[in-house]
Amino acid sequence: MRLVNILSAISLTLCGISAPVTAADLITGCDILAGHPADPDKLGAGASSSVVKKDLPTAVAVCRRDLRNDPGNARLRYNLGRVLYYSEQFKEGFAEVLKAAEQKHRQAQFVAGLIYTNGNPELFEPQPCTALPFWLDAARRDHYAARISLARDYLRGKYTDCGVDLESAEMRGFLETAAGETQSYYESLLVSYLLEQLTAASGS
């Protein structure tokens, strides 16, 4: 969507019509070096973890620079948190991811929820109830992995003591939507399995 906005702005400019393009719409070095391929709000193609880890110091330095130039940019903040976390700077990395999640960046919400769910020996024990609102909001705003992960942990009973009423119908909706977006045979198997488990659990 942002690429479309940029191209539209360029076309309008060529026609003599002014159209603003904000800094948040422009791809940066940080996006190229540290953007996650599965981030639905990424600019550019993103870089796999194996590629990013080839030169983490450069990625960290570039992302720090780009975030200084645009400190309110949640996407860049998430990217910085990602490469810091890969660099085993867990405390600072998680803090940046969490800030981006609090800014409603969907990939950051998913990753913050993942870290809360799994825990980290240097940070805290697993906290699924803390993860829940991040995953729920991201899932409701069309984050693919958040939909599947939330439904899986719902079926595992991880949220029974969280004081949040979750509806099996909503979990089914998440999975049915995800089923139409799977990109591999194994993803399809997982989503199908979770749908079967949800049907068995709900008795319908």
- Integer Cα distance of 75 and 111 in angstroms: 13
Task: State the average pLDDT over residues 187-200.
Answer: 96
Q: Look at residue 22 in the predicted model and tell me its pLDDT.
A: 55
Higher-confidence residue of 17 and 40: namely: 40
Domain ranges of the chain: 1-103, 120-204
Residue 55: what pLDDT? 97
Whether the Cβ atoms of residue 34 and residue 47 lie closer than 8 Å to each other: yes
Among residues of the chain, what percentage have pLDDT more than 70? 88
Tens-digit pLDDT profile for residues 48-91: 999 999 999 999 999 999 999 999 999 999 999 999 999 999 99
Signed CA dihedral, 156, 178, 165, 101: sign only:
positive
With CA atoms as reference, report the closest residue to 120 among 93, 158, 152.
93
Which residue from 58, 59, 77 is spatially nearest to 68, judged by alpha carbons? 77
> Could you report the per-residue pLDDT of 115-154, keeping only the tens digit for each?
999 999 999 999 999 999 999 999 999 999 999 999 999 9
